[in-house]
């Protein structure tokens, strides 16, 4: 164990990538993010769409988990989950949240802050209908974030829901759907040698994006 802990302390990796020049980036951060995501989708396997979602009720501890990006447009970033989960309860009480993408192959990270709101029910219905049937059943079977006595309990509930909808279309649970995070702050990080990383911050001010370069 001591050897392993020493390896952790001594672990080093040189980050290096193309220059990220704050004077040459697009005026709209969503354009830059879209370009980075397209490259990540080719190079970052197996989960280029994985993002850490950080939430917390006002005045309480912060919680974080990895979710998958399931929609992107000029309005923001979309993902889907159980509205009654811990994250759902935190969002209900405090819609301010953060997303983090880390793409180690490209030595890139993107940090996003903004406000979450539920997507329209029709949009959630359409996405739920596109999911594999097993995932649809799982959305009904799991009381996400609540304690469960054993795996067997979950398996039994899955089987019950599976039989209930045998030969039928599975409707979207009312407690399950999408969120969209509308950003007001996006930071792009490009790793460089000697820890002299490039950091470019887009900060929304008065409806316009201010672009700043940050010290690493």
Residues that are catalytic: 195
In 3D space, the residue among 109, 131, 124 whose CA is nearest the CA of residue 214 turns out to be 109
């Amino acid at each position: 164990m001591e050897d392993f802990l020493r390896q952790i302390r001594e672990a080093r990796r040189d980050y290096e990538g193309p220059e990220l020049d704050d004077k040459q980036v697009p005026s709209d951060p969503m354009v830059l993010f879209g370009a980075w995501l397209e490259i990540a989708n080719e190079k970052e396997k197996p989960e280029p769409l994985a993002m850490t979602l950080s939430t917390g009720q006002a005045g309480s501890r912060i919680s974080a988990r990895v979710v998958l990006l399931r929609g992107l447009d000029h309005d923001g970033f979309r993902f889907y989950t159980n509205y009654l989960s811990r994250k759902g309860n935190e969002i209900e009480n405090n819609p301010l949240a953060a997303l983090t993408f880390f793409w180690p192959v490209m030595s890139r990270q993107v940090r996003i802050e903004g406000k979450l709101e539920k997507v329209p029910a029709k949009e959630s219905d359409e996405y739920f209908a596109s999911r594999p049937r097993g995932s649809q059943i799982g959305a009904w079977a799991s009381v996400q974030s609540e304690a469960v006595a054993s795996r067997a309990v979950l398996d039994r509930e899955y089987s019950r829901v599976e039989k209930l909808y045998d030969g039928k279309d599975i409707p979207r649970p009312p407690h399950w759907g999408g969120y969209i995070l509308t950003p007001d702050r996006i930071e792009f990080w490009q790793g460089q040698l000697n820890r002299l990383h490039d950091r470019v911050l887009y900060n929304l001010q008065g409806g316009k994006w201010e672009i700043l370069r940050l010290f690493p």
